[in-house]
Structure 1
Amino acid sequence: MNELYTQIITVFLGFFAIMNPIANTAAFAGLAGHRTHTEQVKIATKALVTTFFIICAFALLGKAIFHLFGITLPALRITGGILVFIIGYHMLNGNGSKLHSPEQNTDADIAISPLAVPLLAGPGTIATAMNYSSSGNIMDIIVVISVFALLCVVTFLCFIYSAKVLSLLGEGGLTIVTRLMGLILAVIGTQMLIIGISSLLAIPLNVG
């Protein structure tokens, strides 16, 4: 049971750091702050429902994707570790990652882009979900989906109360949270790299 609690906390912290609801609340306020509260609720709901289904798809189909493209688990962990580390490094330095900062298109549906993809369901989030559920164990997949659902609810609340959250934190508080999340992400990315490289060195490669 203790292992399950540890796994739940680890997955939650990993997703929380990579999605960074607090920092993305500022992005949401910038994109939808001028809308009415009803419109903001609709945008937040659509963005997070879309994000949830995207991540669920990768969590559930991760193993099938591996077999389809001939991807090995160490390759995913190494690539995912690099992506997560890069995002964390930029956040640690107080900058947004280009992976989470697409050019804005005012004519596009902001709930889908840029909110759902790539701000919430970006490459790092997808890689993290696939990494945590890659064992194919049903309990691991349930934990990933359940924890991510909880995080989507937390993010939704942050979005619809974005004005209050940002006024409470202030610019300094937002910077501190972003840097702390960046540090956590950099460590998670490094750990994924270490595990991936260790696994790669421990298994024979079938080339040709």
Structure 2
Amino acid sequence: MSGNLLTFSLSVFTGFFAVMNPISGVPAFLGLVKGRNKEQKKEIAKIATRAAFLIVVFFVLLGKYVFEIFGLTIPAFKITGGILLFYVGFEMLQSKQSSIQHQKDLEPDTSIAITPLAIPLLAGPGTIVTGMNFVTDSDYIHIAIVILIFALIAYMNFVAFSLSDLIIKRIGNNLITVVGKMMGLILAIMGIGMIMRGVKLEFGAYFL
């Protein structure tokens, strides 16, 4: 049982880390908070990560009810979510800022902590799909693990955003680009795996 929970926890961490990588989000954060002082940047980072956490937790806890209300099925969700994750990962591999995860050409103002930082930079469709995928057929222990691990990832993003100037200075944009490509590959592979699981759930019986 403990081994299964550890494996599940590692899968959840990898999934969230790939789609919500703290390091690869630093350049976007710096571009949006340009001109702010250190305290203002930290406050924006705090609001953005808290908002992203609440948004994802909402979908994690109420995902099953959303399925029931709209008559959705787990196989359909896994296939659709897998396609979405693959698309985001594929764009990351091509060094593009995903049109799903990010909004473009937005002027930085007092609301940037919520949009576009919290939504959709941090809690974009890819993040929400990842979280819901891990809890669609899980018990309360697994749901709690997903929430706790996402809280850790959100905190890691807060730390990365707070230290964004130092990170860019020490690491440089080139290494951040390499990390982004690696996360894109992981995300694309996870998307294919999700599609395969969805197809197996829906059509597996026909091939037995």
TM over 0.5, yes or no? yes
Deviation at 1:105, TM superposition (A): 3.7
Q: Does the 8 Å CA contact 1:12/1:147 hold for their aligned counterparts?
A: yes
Deviation at 1:39, TM superposition (A): 0.7
Deviation larger for 107-116 or 149-158: 107-116
- Give the AA of the match of 1:15: F
Deviation at 1:82, TM superposition (A): 0.6
| Structure 2: distance between partners of 1:192 and 1:31 | 33
Q: How does 1:111-126 map to 2 (within 5 A)?
A: 111-126=113-128
- Give the AA of the match of 1:81: G
Q: SS state of the match for residue 113, structure 1?
A: helix
Q: Does the 8 Å CA contact 2:32/2:108 hold for their aligned counterparts?
A: no
Which structure 2 segments of 5+ residues have no match?
Answer: none
Q: Does the 8 Å CA contact 1:63/1:136 hold for their aligned counterparts?
A: no
Q: How does 1:69-108 map to 2 (within 5 A)?
A: 69-103=70-104, 104-107=106-109
Deviation at 1:3, TM superposition (A): 1.4
User: 2:197 aligns to what?
Assistant: 195
User: 1:172 aligns to what?
Assistant: 174
- Give the AA of the match of 1:80: G
| Structure 2: distance between partners of 1:21 and 1:157 | 8
Q: SS state of the match for residue 23, structure 1?
A: coil
1:42-98 per-residue CA deviation (whole Å, 9 max, x = no partner) reads 101110110000000000001100100000001111111011000000111111111
| Structure 2: distance between partners of 1:72 and 1:203 | 16
| Structure 2: distance between partners of 1:166 and 1:195 | 39
Query: After the TM superposition, which segments of 4 or more aligned residues of structure 1 sit over 4 Å from their partners?
Result: none
The 1:108–1:77 alpha-carbon spacing in structure 2 relative to 1, beyond 3 Å, is: farther
| Structure 2: distance between partners of 1:66 and 1:136 | 14
User: 1:52 aligns to what?
Assistant: 53
Deviation larger for 193-202 or 105-114: 105-114
- Give the AA of the match of 1:40: K
| Structure 2: distance between partners of 1:40 and 1:169 | 19
Deviation larger for 10-19 or 28-37: 28-37
Q: SS state of the match for residue 97, structure 2?
A: coil
Deviation at 1:143, TM superposition (A): 0.8
TM-score (norm 2): 0.94
Q: How does 1:14-163 map to 2 (within 5 A)?
A: 14-103=15-104, 104-107=106-109, 109-163=111-165
Deviation at 1:203, TM superposition (A): 6.3
| Structure 1: distance between partners of 2:143 and 2:205 | 25
Deviation at 1:6, TM superposition (A): 1.1
- Give the AA of the match of 2:94: N
TM-score (norm 1): 0.94
| Structure 1: distance between partners of 2:151 and 2:84 | 23
Q: Does 1:7 align with 2:27?
A: no
Deviation at 1:33, TM superposition (A): 3.6
